[in-house]
Chain A
């Protein structure tokens, strides 16, 4: 197990380095100058050159990349030797080109927002989706099954920006039943935290649960038709035990994979959800940074998103072994 985890972590690190190089390369392939965007008015060639020097954009790309990586581990000093010298302690991800705020502080503010949205929504979509799917499978052909399939089809066909806006219109703008979504740190006020995020949770939760319901139902039906389940039933094992001990465990394995990847990817930013509900999470920050050619934020957020995916994959692999004894980590 330890060897497996170590190997996967090493592969993950290599992946992250590769991604960071690609992001740097792509950024400089774009024919726009962040210095020009920042330079403001009365901008002339000398001002652009001054901004580029200050930001280190005049250094060779390889040097900029190594300075960036070095900053993560030992910190770095910008505009050294000038009146505007600025120290950035490790783990230094640089300063925003737009407002000179430390990228780590931006991430410290935006990551909890995205994590709060995703985990709340994930609990909902897994709870609703998997339960609906399982029960549908067990009550195949009944009214419950048909209604559940109908709901999941509706959910799967809808988009966040449509369902979210309808919820906002009905529950916030016209009836005032709920306040407009906002983010309050969980540690400050858990009730307000939940109240402010309930709409994005419902939106993401409902839409994603549809897919999970359909997946769970299909998996469960397939498992129920397996020989070993039939054998278990034939041997007189109570139905409850057959379903929970034998069928459910096998059926849930692929769902864990999908859930892990979904959660990992969502943690990288739920841009549309964040935008619709006015929550400044990682997704919104990233898209804005791309538009502003804000390299330090782009690199940091892309790397972080990659970290989430790598870690989610690792967790899924480990969970596999726990859920399904047939899977051995090697």
Chain B
């Protein structure tokens, strides 16, 4: 799962830490009038037209200008081996290219296409076990040297190094299944130069051989892990500061915690790139302002800030000022890939009837109001987010957003549910939200006690099997926009371990597990509908936990920026097709 936002958002007097592990840590800033949820129609395209550069021109767009991003905290990592946060990935996308990438146009249509590769990968034996990628002609680094498939292999090899362990590890785990991904091979710095299962027969070809079928490989190849890193340019721990450019921009200056400046990479050839238009002459990523200051400045739209945008959610205090016409037309809002759930510990609440009663008892509107009103998201009824490919909205229980007390009573039929403990992260927003949820459940006849847990250890505690809590708030977002990084990690009961669980409902059902296995072997294009069907089945037959709301984002931008829209793949303003108005 990809984390949303930077690792930290500094509050006026408090710092929210990113949870380690794979659960969502949103920037808790409220924000996001999410009334415009759109259905994601993403897919993998092998069409030559989609896979051939240059990227389709944006109407009215002009080249030139500098786009400025304002964000409270500096990036943690830009090194492709360590880049696992959406905003870092959006930024990294400007500097380096992966094997695959997403073409988006802001309408909800998202295509996975070849980026460095000529197409999203060839399933050599049609069993999803051997994947081959051919690189395009004319690919160059910032120094004009040619990009080789061996550099991609090296990039993946170094991501095995324990010192560079922060990135996604799908391909690594698939190459070394069973056990920790780097238990055997520990990167090129110790012993073996290359991991097993990767071949580069020539400079244009890279082939992956897995023991098991992985039909999701085209999506995994879109993660930064497959960005090329020339061995001679590998500065190891310092690569974060200056990744060697294979994309349209290169690092000009980088002062940690203050400013990252990108300038054009003259050796990037637009004709080799179907994804990026690269209209601006450069980007400035500024760090250090509070989110409220950023939003105030963007609302004010002073001349110096007109080509700027903010990646953080607009704080509730500024939201009322964003409705005037000259601000309202400068808002990018919509759902992110995150869904927040009222997690139910199935080891304690075993009766589906009680979980169903909780579903109706939860006042989703109140839970949202506590963190910024309807701007923070919209009530959820599915396990997967609206940004997931093939998403179809359904509500098998048809509960009103404010809950239905009568239905709760009807389901419980006069029986008294057991008293419950609702655990929550001890931040101001989550505490307020937990209180709102407690109030709504008590109104419906449940007895709920709150338990605040420090933010830094929250997911550790609720991720412990046999934890003493009945209910807990938790979020989850996918690594790529299909159900395969949502349903298996959080509902495959075979993955439940003593500590560090992602399956926080502690839900385990053989029929679901078997179906997960089956879907994984389907061709990627067929998986979308299958995951959606499984989502519905889980909700209908088991209801392991309660989807509370779809997380939304609400971002402001300056009046001189054009073609600003939220990337569905990353849940924030995209940079590939943005431009500065003259």
A residues lining the B interface (CB < 8 Å) = 32, 36-37, 39-44, 46-47, 50, 54, 82-84, 86, 98-101, 106, 109, 161, 168-169, 172-174, 176, 179-180, 272, 275-276, 278-280, 284-285, 287-288, 291-292
Q: Given the known inter-chain contacts A109-B258, A173-B300, please indicate yes or no for A84 contacting B163, CB distance below 8 A.
A: yes
What's the count of A-B pairs with C-beta under 8 Å?
Answer: 114
Contact at B290–A179, with CB atoms within 8 Å?
Answer: no
> Which residues from chain B contact A47 at a C-beta distance below 8 Å?
162, 165
Q: Given the known inter-chain contacts A40-B84, A40-B166, A292-B17, please indicate yes or no for A173 contacting B299, CB distance below 8 A.
A: yes
The 13 listed contacts between A and B (C-beta, < 8 Å) are: A40-B166, A41-B1, A42-B22, A43-B21, A54-B163, A84-B163, A109-B258, A168-B296, A275-B10, A275-B13, A278-B288, A280-B288, A291-B8
Q: How far is the CA of A84 from the CA of B82 in the complex (A)?
A: 15
Q: How far is the CA of A88 from the CA of B388 in the complex (A)?
A: 47
Other 16 A-B pairs with CB < 8 A, given A36-B20, A173-B297, A275-B290: A32-B456, A37-B17, A39-B166, A41-B3, A41-B22, A41-B168, A43-B21, A54-B163, A84-B237, A100-B237, A109-B255, A173-B296, A176-B300, A272-B13, A288-B15, A291-B14
Give per-residue flags for B288-310: 1 if the beta carbon is below 8 A from chain A beta carbons, else 0: 11100100110110101000000
Closest to A84 in B: B163
Contact at A100–B240, with CB atoms within 8 Å?
Answer: yes
Closest to B75 in A: A99
B 41-83 contacts with A by CB, 8 A: 74, 76, 82
Q: How far is the CA of A297 from the CA of B344 in the complex (A)?
A: 40
Give the interface centre of A42, A179, A284 by most chain B CB atoms within 10 Å: A42
> Which residues from chain B contact A39 at a C-beta distance below 8 Å?
20, 165-166
Q: Given the known inter-chain contacts A278-B288, A280-B258, A292-B17, please indicate yes or no for A84 contacting B165, CB distance below 8 A.
A: no
Give the total of B residues in contact with A, Cβ under 8 Å: 48
Does B189 have its Cβ within 8 Å of any Cβ on chain A?
yes
Q: With both chains docked as a complex, state the minimum distance between the C-beta of A161 and any C-beta of chain B, in angstroms.
A: 7
A41 contacts which of B20, B256, B304 (Cβ < 8 Å)? B20
Does B236 have its Cβ within 8 Å of any Cβ on chain A?
yes
Q: With both chains docked as a complex, state the minimum distance between the C-beta of A169 and any C-beta of chain B, in angstroms.
A: 8
Closest to B256 in A: A101
Does B107 have its Cβ within 8 Å of any Cβ on chain A?
no
Q: How far is the CA of A291 from the CA of B74 in the complex (A)?
A: 15
A278 contacts which of B236, B290, B304 (Cβ < 8 Å)? B290
> Which residues from chain B contact A275 at a C-beta distance below 8 Å?
10, 12-13, 290
Closest to B292 in A: A165
Q: Given the known inter-chain contacts A37-B456, A40-B84, A41-B84, please indicate yes or no for A180 contacting B15, CB distance below 8 A.
A: no
> Which residues from chain A contact B163 at a C-beta distance below 8 Å?
50, 54, 83-84
Contact at B76–A98, with CB atoms within 8 Å?
Answer: yes
Contact at A42–B15, with CB atoms within 8 Å?
Answer: no
> Which residues from chain B contact A44 at a C-beta distance below 8 Å?
180, 500
The list of the 9 closest CB pairs from A to B, nearest first, reads A40-B166, A291-B15, A83-B189, A278-B289, A280-B288, A173-B300, A50-B162, A43-B20, A101-B256
> Which residues from chain A contact B165 at a C-beta distance below 8 Å?
39-40, 42, 47, 50
Q: How far is the CA of A279 from the CA of B288 in the complex (A)?
A: 7
Give per-residue flags for B115-146: 1 if the beta carbon is below 8 A from chain A beta carbons, else 0: 00000000000000000000000000000000
> Which residues from chain A contact B190 at a C-beta distance below 8 Å?
83
> Which residues from chain A contact B238 at a C-beta distance below 8 Å?
100
Does B457 have its Cβ within 8 Å of any Cβ on chain A?
yes
Closest to A39 in B: B20
Q: With both chains docked as a complex, state the minimum distance between the C-beta of A56 and any C-beta of chain B, in angstroms.
A: 14
Does B150 have its Cβ within 8 Å of any Cβ on chain A?
no
Q: With both chains docked as a complex, state the minimum distance between the C-beta of A158 and any C-beta of chain B, in angstroms.
A: 17
Q: How far is the CA of A285 from the CA of B73 in the complex (A)?
A: 12
> Which residues from chain A contact B180 at a C-beta distance below 8 Å?
44, 46
B 72-105 contacts with A by CB, 8 A: 74, 76, 82, 84
Closest to A285 in B: B257
Contact at A278–B293, with CB atoms within 8 Å?
Answer: yes
> Which residues from chain B contact A82 at a C-beta distance below 8 Å?
189
Closest to B15 in A: A291
Does B169 have its Cβ within 8 Å of any Cβ on chain A?
yes
Closest to A174 in B: B300
Q: How far is the CA of A285 from the CA of B257 in the complex (A)?
A: 9
Q: With both chains docked as a complex, state the minimum distance between the C-beta of B464 and any C-beta of chain A, in angstroms.
A: 14
Q: How far is the CA of A187 from the CA of B113 in the complex (A)?
A: 49
Q: With both chains docked as a complex, state the minimum distance between the C-beta of A271 and any C-beta of chain B, in angstroms.
A: 8
Closest to B302 in A: A176
Contact at A179–B3, with CB atoms within 8 Å?
Answer: no
Q: How far is the CA of A325 from the CA of B306 in the complex (A)?
A: 60
Give per-residue flags for B314-336: 1 if the beta carbon is below 8 A from chain A beta carbons, else 0: 00000000000000000000000
B 231-249 contacts with A by CB, 8 A: 236-238, 240
Q: How far is the CA of A47 from the CA of B21 in the complex (A)?
A: 12
Give per-residue flags for B266-301: 1 if the beta carbon is below 8 A from chain A beta carbons, else 0: 000000000000000000000011100100110110
Q: How far is the CA of A99 from the CA of B13 in the complex (A)?
A: 22
Contact at A161–B240, with CB atoms within 8 Å?
Answer: no
Q: How far is the CA of A99 from the CA of B287 in the complex (A)?
A: 14
Give per-residue flags for B532-561: 1 if the beta carbon is below 8 A from chain A beta carbons, else 0: 000000000000000000000000000000
> Which residues from chain B contact A50 at a C-beta distance below 8 Å?
162-163, 165
Contact at A179–B304, with CB atoms within 8 Å?
Answer: yes
> Which residues from chain B contact A36 at a C-beta distance below 8 Å?
20, 456
Q: How far is the CA of A54 from the CA of B236 in the complex (A)?
A: 14
Q: How far is the CA of A36 from the CA of B459 in the complex (A)?
A: 12
Q: With both chains docked as a complex, state the minimum distance between the C-beta of A113 and any C-beta of chain B, in angstroms.
A: 10
Contact at B237–A180, with CB atoms within 8 Å?
Answer: no
B166 contacts which of A41, A109, A161, A172 (Cβ < 8 Å)? A41
